[in-house]
Structure 1
Amino acid sequence: MSSRAGTVALESDLIDVHALVKAYFDLHPDVSIPEQRVVFGTSGHRGSSFDTAFNDDHIAATTQAIVEYRASQGVDGPLFIGRDTHGLSRPAETTALEVLVANGVRVLSDEFDGYTPTPAVSHAILKYNTAGKDAPGYSGIADGIVVTPSHNPPRDGGFKYNPPHGGPADSDATTWIANRANEIIADGLKDVKRAEASAVETYDFLGNYVDDLKNIIDLDAIRESGIRIGADPLGGASLSYWQAIAEKYGIDLTVVNAEIDPAWSFMTLDWDEKIRMDPSSPSAMASVVARRDEYDILTGNDADSDRHGIVTPDAGLMNPNHYLAVAIQYLYANRPGWREDAAIGKTLVSSSMIDLVAESLGRRLWEVPVGFKWFVPGLVDGSVGFGGEESAGASFLRFDGTVWTTDKDGIILALLASEILAKTGKTPSQHYAELVERFGAPAYERIDAAASKAQKARLAKLDGDAITADTVAGDPITLKLSKAPGNDAAIGGVKVQTADAWFAARPSGTEDVYKIYAESFKGPEHLKLVQAEAKRIVDAALAE
């Protein structure tokens, strides 16, 4: 933790946006260099033009690959495209539009040339496809592209594909797209078609999304309660959405920071002195937390609004795991229109407090690997009422139990905090305190451990049986997992459990480290022991 964490960025911390955009067009990747290849992580391809990792060539080739992929899958309708507020997002969107138009794809971009949250793109795809062939203007199955690196620093760009189900593309799709994009780049971009982006239609992402919110959040209760709400877009795409929500629904909501700046000069630095628009980080949210006494509920979103941060007067910034547990408890008790067998979805590195809440509700827990894509089928058919990740990303169903979005939606999670307060008279943090009284107080933390590329590759394929230890921090091991209990999918690492604690280890996709997630119901000191033994156990397994 840097001593500057939580302090406002200095001029020396800021990027030169003009130079960033210039590098986007001037630098050309060599895909024989691994760091310059198109690589899709859990949320698309990300990188910086300064590093020749996110440039015009990358986006032109990736878009051409998406055109070919969607054709191979029979996706012949419109493609919805949106961008966030990062400096590289507009040039990347322009590149994509030129390729899409040249290939004859019907493209729908924002009606007001504005910024578009990830959930608004997912919402648009689902609305169009659900309406079906009988709807006016139907021209085939729709999909989408979101130009965003999410909460990443200002120097980064991001580009992700959402197929017709509206959520993140699965690994089969992203692997094919990335491989084809790199092949196109290596061949000198000869297969890329480009034309002036003049034949682009528009779509009112904001209006369609905001008008529909009444079908998933009790905005009448929020308005009638008179609670004071503060919303900080953190310089992201949700700015105009929050302004529209306040106006349309007449709630006492103030946008506490309306500034858009691709250098993010107003942000407080994250733990490592980087500018990172992470609403779950106490350091990045320091300026928001400082205003906690001015509002009954204060919220934050990242640049593409797929993550949420919840700040209350009594507790400050809530740990994401804590809020997920409270949201689940509240929703399953207050959404009678959901299926009685609708499961609770969580990633296996999320808190076990969620397991205890699920058990108390009599609901099935559906535990999956990291990645929101796993929740998509359940959200589509209503068999999963809520899907959430420990990194402050989640979505849930409408009042009637039908799908809302199949990508993470930080706006509805932020609004839900106000609904909880309006309907119960208690803040989400007060509700979590009650959960602690019932079930105990888990200590949870994620740390990183050094690992070479070869070690990370071994960890990704490690089998739970390769863990030879019998105990962790003095307690017998009860379970060793390399596949998720909910869907038997490989977790890309291991998870080890005891009666009162657990740890999971997964390789980082961007750095030479592996991530250790750990939790203990015996307190912070016991958690430290679990973390230390986790590193020893995993290092031993990787050395064999």
Structure 2
Amino acid sequence: MHERAGTPARPEDLVDVEALVRAFYDRVPDPAVPAERVAFGTSGHRGSALASSFTETHIVAITQAIVDYRRGQGTSGPLFIGADTHALSAPAMTAALEVLVGNEVRVLVDEYDDYVPTPALSHAILTWNRSPRADAEGRADGIVVTPSHNPPADGGFKYNPPHGGPADSDATGWIAARANELIEAGLAGVNRAEPSAVETYDFRGRYVDDLENVIDIDAIRRSGLRIGADPLGGASVSYWAAIRDRYGLPIEVVNERVDPAWGFMTLDWDGKIRMDPSSPSAMAGALEAAGRFDILTGNDADADRHGIITPDGGLMNPNHYLAVAIEYLFGHRPGWRADAAVGKTLVSSSMIDRVADALGRRLWEVPVGFKWFVPGLVDGSVGFGGEESAGASFLRFDGTVWTTDKDGILLALLASEIRAVTGRSPSELYRGLAERFGDPAYARRDAPASPEQKTALGALDAASIDADTLAGQPVTAKLSRAPGNDAPIGGVKVTTADAWFAARPSGTENVYKLYAESFRGPEHLALVQDEAQAIVDAALGGSS
């Protein structure tokens, strides 16, 4: 923990926005340098112009690659595009529009020149593709220009195909390879034109008007709750005001400031500015206002993540809130399929497993990445999909798809619905779950790993794990493929009756991420973590 974590940012902490944008246009990446090549992680290509990893060259190459990919897939409808409030998002969107228009792609941008949250773009794609226009004019897809909660110097670029969610690894692998080819060729083959021939779309109005089909707005309105919403300077800032005005809800937007340097933020755990609504350090400013509200929520820069603050519990651990949301939703959505499953990533809390079992619902455990939930949300076979990193979405009242990307606005509104309908805060409801199922201790630790060791960990087979016990308990499962869909997890997971750990390599740093949980308390969790690191090190052929 950094010594200034949770304290207000100082001038010396802020990025020079002018220099950052200048670097976006001036720097040319060297394709011989791995860190400067196009690389899609779990949610798009990310980098910084200051590190020559997110530049105009990257964006025009990626956009041309997306044009080539969608053409090869037969995607002939409009492409929706939106951006968040990061400093690099606006110039990146302009560069992308030049390529899209230069390739005669039909493009739809925001009608009000507003920022576009990730869930609003997913909603737009799905709305178009279930309308008769999709048959007549072709299926739509989209681009979100955002690095999500990452620091102000970062940029991000994400492609969402016609299913509305994050592109799968086959698509992103093809796009990245094609983009790198274009960069190596000096951008020969990239078509650009003035971005004048674009259409507009009311992302905000369409999204807000449809919320009554997924959230019990009437219950919230009748409750008289005091509700606060902190956009953390992100794309949801005007959405919360629109939700308040459209439905007559008692919502106060506690901070309407948009600043690409995020000078109003408090520093995250590592001393960086990071708009993570699930981090107590990043949410320190919002926590000061908690006493004024029955429910206070936060969103990150593209509003795909949520943070939930209650007067009696403070900022909720994301795993805790996911468990509460699941128990509530599956008890208050009779229109969902009787066999609709509970979706979770394999590094999310096992509290969710116990809740799903008590509900009599099938648990659908998948690798890290929201893209894995897309098929189940589309066909209604998965009622809820959630990640431990505070990202989730769920179905409409009638059991049909809402969004296929994470929706932090939706999960924030759900907290108010839960409080209004049950009369109890999500924090109080979680304490009830802990009394019934046990109170787990959960943590993530980063351990050093060389690039070679990271590659080895990503390809590790469960059979390579020799341990038969973990922290005094017999091992019940060793996994290198997810139980829900048999997809490779890019690492390993080991479980016992009361504990588990999972290890997977970081996509950006020379570390591996070690997730662990124990229902026997913090001391047992520490033992699990220490033994887990030794087990992984041994499997990798020595100490990392």
Question: TM tier, shorter chain?
Answer: over 0.9
2:61 aligns to what?
A: 61
Q: How does 1:491-530 map to 2 (within 5 A)?
A: 491-530=489-528
- Structure 2 distance, partners of 1:329, 1:390, is 16
4+ residue segments displaced more than 4 Å: none
1:127 aligns to what?
A: 127
Structure-2 change in CA distance of 1:134 and 1:265 (3 Å) = closer
2:437 is aligned with what amino acid? F
Q: 2:83 aligned with 1:83, yes or no? A: yes
- Structure 2 distance, partners of 1:121, 1:69, is 19
Tell me the CA shift for residue 134 of structure 1: 7.3
Q: What count of residue pairs does the alignment treat as equivalent?
A: 542
2:153 aligns to what?
A: 155
Q: 2:108 aligned with 1:73, yes or no? A: no
Q: How much is the aligned-residue C-alpha RMSD, in angstroms?
A: 0.7
1:64 is aligned with what amino acid? Q
Among 270, 280, 283, the alignment partner of 2:281 is 283
Tell me the CA shift for residue 174 of structure 1: 0.1
Q: How does 1:227-246 map to 2 (within 5 A)?
A: 227-246=225-244
- Structure 1 distance, partners of 2:318, 2:257, is 25
Q: 2:465 aligned with 1:467, yes or no? A: yes
Equivalent pair of 2:128/2:134 in contact (CA under 8 Å): no
Tell me the CA shift for residue 419 of structure 1: 0.1
Among 440, 444, 447, the alignment partner of 1:446 is 444
Tell me the CA shift for residue 402 of structure 1: 0.3
Equivalent position SS for 1:354? helix
1:357 aligns to what?
A: 355
Equivalent position SS for 1:543? coil
Tell me the CA shift for residue 133 of structure 1: 3.7
Equivalent position SS for 2:307? strand
Tell me the CA shift for residue 474 of structure 1: 1.2
Deviations 1:155-188 (A, max 9, x none): 0000000000000000000000000000000000
- Structure 1 distance, partners of 2:224, 2:211, is 18
1:395 aligns to what?
A: 393
Q: 2:217 aligned with 1:226, yes or no? A: no
Tell me the CA shift for residue 313 of structure 1: 0.1
Deviations 1:175-234 (A, max 9, x none): 000000000000000110000000010000000000000000001110110100000000
1:148 is aligned with what amino acid? T
Equivalent pair of 2:134/2:140 in contact (CA under 8 Å): no
Tell me the CA shift for residue 112 of structure 1: 0.7
2:30 aligns to what?
A: 30
1:174 aligns to what?
A: 172
Deviations 1:128-172 (A, max 9, x none): 00013478xx52110000000000000000000000000000000
1:247 aligns to what?
A: 245
Q: 2:108 aligned with 1:111, yes or no? A: no
Among 406, 417, 437, the alignment partner of 2:404 is 406
1:198 aligns to what?
A: 196
1:13 aligns to what?
A: 13
Tell me the CA shift for residue 282 of structure 1: 0.6
Deviations 1:285-336 (A, max 9, x none): 0111111111000000000000000000001000000000000000000000
Deviations 1:499-521 (A, max 9, x none): 11000000000000000000000
Q: How does 1:201-350 map to 2 (within 5 A)?
A: 201-350=199-348
Tell me the CA shift for residue 358 of structure 1: 0.3
- Structure 2 distance, partners of 1:464, 1:194, is 48
Structure-2 change in CA distance of 1:367 and 1:193 (3 Å) = same
Equivalent pair of 2:117/2:236 in contact (CA under 8 Å): yes
Deviations 1:8-28 (A, max 9, x none): 000000000000000000000
Structure-2 change in CA distance of 1:528 and 1:134 (3 Å) = closer
Equivalent pair of 2:100/2:107 in contact (CA under 8 Å): yes
1:486 aligns to what?
A: 484
Deviations 1:427-469 (A, max 9, x none): 0000000001101100000110000000000000001110111
- Structure 2 distance, partners of 1:535, 1:94, is 45
Deviations 1:246-298 (A, max 9, x none): 01111110000000000000000000000000001110001111111110000
- Structure 1 distance, partners of 2:263, 2:133, is 47
Equivalent position SS for 1:376? helix
- Structure 2 distance, partners of 1:149, 1:297, is 27
- Structure 1 distance, partners of 2:357, 2:186, is 56
1:100 is aligned with what amino acid? L
Q: 2:167 aligned with 1:188, yes or no? A: no
1:12 is aligned with what amino acid? E
Deviations 1:402-421 (A, max 9, x none): 00000000000000000000
Deviations 1:40-93 (A, max 9, x none): 000000000000000000000000000000000000010000000000000000
- Structure 2 distance, partners of 1:288, 1:532, is 34
1:3 aligns to what?
A: 3
Equivalent position SS for 2:291? helix
- Structure 1 distance, partners of 2:286, 2:432, is 25
- Structure 2 distance, partners of 1:192, 1:465, is 46
Equivalent pair of 2:77/2:134 in contact (CA under 8 Å): no
Gaps of 5+ in 2: none
Deviations 1:115-137 (A, max 9, x none): 000000000000000013478xx
- Structure 2 distance, partners of 1:471, 1:361, is 30
Percent sequence identity is 73
Tell me the CA shift for residue 36 of structure 1: 0.3
Superposition TM-score, scaled by structure 2 size = 0.99
- Structure 1 distance, partners of 2:86, 2:287, is 23
- Structure 2 distance, partners of 1:374, 1:469, is 29
Gaps of 5+ in 1: none
2:206 is aligned with what amino acid? N
